[in-house]
Structure 1
Amino acid sequence: MKKLLLLTSFILLISLLAACTNGETAEEEETEEEKVIAVETAEVKEGNLTLEKKIYGRTEPHRSAPVMLTAPGEIDSLEVTNGDKVEENDLIAVIKTQMGNQNIRAKEDGVILGLKAKEGDLASSEEPLAIIADLDAIRIQAGVTANMLDILAVDDKVTAKVNGKKFEATVTSVDRLPDDTGLYPVAFAIDEEDTDIAPGIVAELIIPEEKVKSALIVPTASLVEEKEETFVYVVQNDHVKKVPVKPIEVQSKNSAIEGKVKAGDKIVVSGQLGLADGQQVEVLKGE
């Protein structure tokens, strides 16, 4: 009887151990199956790596002319105020001089700016009474450092931001001599009429600079550095392949590289932590 009880207990113990072992094995298999890392991807592209530099300038009339007096005198009457539009030969002011009244007329079409005098004031013949400006054509005057002279040339196209709006602008002049500030004056013409841009407004100019031509371009976030080696993870059939690459030019957003990747390859840009060569992945978002 005792032998039978011992045999029965032994069989039950073996069964329990087998069940535990099978449970652990199933759990391990389930864990292995669940070990899929979520990643985001981007596409390798081929082209030029362009860096955008920003400079600032101020808007001003593309063309302006001073309103000058032939002789000093008292302002007897003013026919205009700042912001008035005038046409050539319109009467601007009448000046009393020792030689009699002097009629001051507009020499061209434009808008009156910079008028500070009022009737009864004495006006000098050495300084402009006002400015007649052509506001239909606005330009931006800026100063750049010497190292930017090589990336700016007359007729280059750039993007200008004024009052939150974007305009295309063309480089019209690049001065090779610095001004009193030590900067080199550069003028940009806004390639659009009737922009309603006032003079004196700060403008942002975005200057493209080609750093590398005809290279493989990848998001900088895709580059992984480990033990003095740089590589990317290429996604193939829901698995990743670790591919060494050589950075040529690294920028904050995009970088140029060399390596055994090609344009069109999907590479991981987010979720690299914990990845290994051959790891199964789930692509959450990609181009």
Structure 2
Amino acid sequence: MKRKYIISIGLFAIILLIAYKLTANKKTINENNKPEKKVAVKIPVKYTAAKEQLLEVSLIKTGNLAPFKESKVITTTSGILQNVRFELGDQVRQGQVLAVMDNRAAQLDFQKAESNLAKLRADLQTYTELYEGKAATKEKVNQLRQDYNDALVQVDQIKKQMSDASIKAPTSGTISVKSMEAGIFANAGSEIATIVNLSRTKVQVNLTEAEVYQVRTGQSVKITTDVYMNAVFAGKVTFISPQADVTHNYMVEIIIANPSKTPLRPGTFVYADFSQKSRQNILTIPREALTESVKNASVYVIGPGNKVALTPVQSGREMGGSIEVISGLKAGDRVVTSGQINLKNGTEVSLSN
């Protein structure tokens, strides 16, 4: 009897233990099956506020000086250079005779042509009088008149040849190249000298597409060079290329005076400062705030609850690391400048600046 009692108590204890284990396991299973609480993850970003500032276009480019004018002295007829009347470095004026070609043959031809012209003039006068007296035919008079006119043309042509023998300076300036000496035979079209006009000089610079729209013809430009450390030369934009070259650059020319106290020479390396200030206030943001290109610009704007909204904007001029915003934002709007890659509309962010 006692043994049965002990066995019953043992079985009851085992049942209680099993029941406890089952209850504990069910509680664990229920805990595991509960949906997890979602914890919102805030994306860390950097930001800045859109701000108004005074418009200041800063644009400094490098370029080289070129002569204001550069002209080649060319022969217009063939012959021997009989006399050369210039040396390297000489100052010459427009129309000055620089060289004379041997024109003795032309002078002889001119004498013959004038003699023939005088004879034809006399014959024409004589036969005209005879024709009026009905002692000569009209055909004879017409033929003499034609011969006389042809002789006139021949005389003018020889005069032109004799005039071309005197080679004149096409512009005023300095002889920078002397290509031939006296006694040399020169064909028509031969180059005997180069003249550069240094009363003024021009600066040639290349501007990108973004830069060229910040420049206008007639705009004042400050020119400086390492040759004269403290000198500033006043220049003016005289030409903007209407078409880009193969590298998508636009050539711009600036004319500057060439003072005698600080003379500038072609080929000198210079700096052209196009920078301008105005009284116009513009809205700007950092360039890195844009999520796409300048043409398809948009930014993430931080709104209430630090949630972001992707906002399209119309961009304008670039000024260093900033860009003008024409529309889409207002002063004080907070825009994300770093961390945009992890964002989408409605994302909550944590801020640092």
Q: TM-score with structure 1 length normalisation?
A: 0.52
Question: Residue 214 of structure 1 aligns with which residue?
Answer: 281
Decide whether the 8 Å contact of 2:60 with 2:271 is kept in 1.
yes
Decide whether the 8 Å contact of 1:170 with 1:191 is kept in 2.
no
Gaps of 5+ in 1: 1-45, 218-248, 253-257, 260-287
Taking a change above 3 Å as real, the CA distance of residues 171 and 49 of structure 1, as seen in their structure-2 partners, is same
Mapping for residues 102-117 of structure 1, pairs under 5 Å = 102-117=165-180
Taking a change above 3 Å as real, the CA distance of residues 210 and 119 of structure 1, as seen in their structure-2 partners, is same
**Aligned with residue 236 of structure 2, among 154, 165, 170:** 170
**Aligned with residue 208 of structure 2, among 145, 156, 162:** 145
Q: TM-score with structure 2 length normalisation?
A: 0.43
Cα deviation, residue 157, structure 1: 0.9
Which deviates more, 115-124 or 157-166? 115-124
Equivalent-residue separation in structure 2 for 1:169 and 1:143 (angstroms): 16
Cα deviation, residue 172, structure 1: 0.5
Equivalent-residue separation in structure 1 for 2:269 and 2:182 (angstroms): 33
Question: Residue 75 of structure 2 aligns with which residue?
Answer: 69
Gaps of 5+ in 2: 1-51, 108-161, 285-317, 322-330, 333-353
Cα deviation, residue 84, structure 1: 0.8
CA deviations 1:207-256 (Å, max 9, x no partner) are 21669943799xxxxxxxxxxxxxxxxxxxxxxxxxxxxxxx9858xxxx
Mapping for residues 81-230 of structure 1, pairs under 5 Å = 81-96=87-102, 99=106, 102-162=165-225, 163-164=227-228, 165-179=231-245, 182-191=248-257, 193-194=259-260, 195-208=262-275, 213-214=280-281
Decide whether the 8 Å contact of 1:151 with 1:209 is kept in 2.
no
Aligned residue identity for 1:198: R
Taking a change above 3 Å as real, the CA distance of residues 127 and 186 of structure 1, as seen in their structure-2 partners, is farther
Question: Residue 282 of structure 1 aligns with which residue?
Answer: none
Percent identical: 21
Structure 1 residue matching 2:275: 3-state secondary structure: strand
Cα deviation, residue 111, structure 1: 1.7
Greater C-alpha Rg: 2
Equivalent-residue separation in structure 2 for 1:199 and 1:72 (angstroms): 32
Decide whether the 8 Å contact of 2:237 with 2:255 is kept in 1.
yes
The alignment covers a number of residue pairs equal to 185
Equivalent-residue separation in structure 2 for 1:188 and 1:53 (angstroms): 14
CA RMSD in angstroms, aligned pairs only: 4.0
Hey, which of these two has a bigger chunk of strand by percent? 1
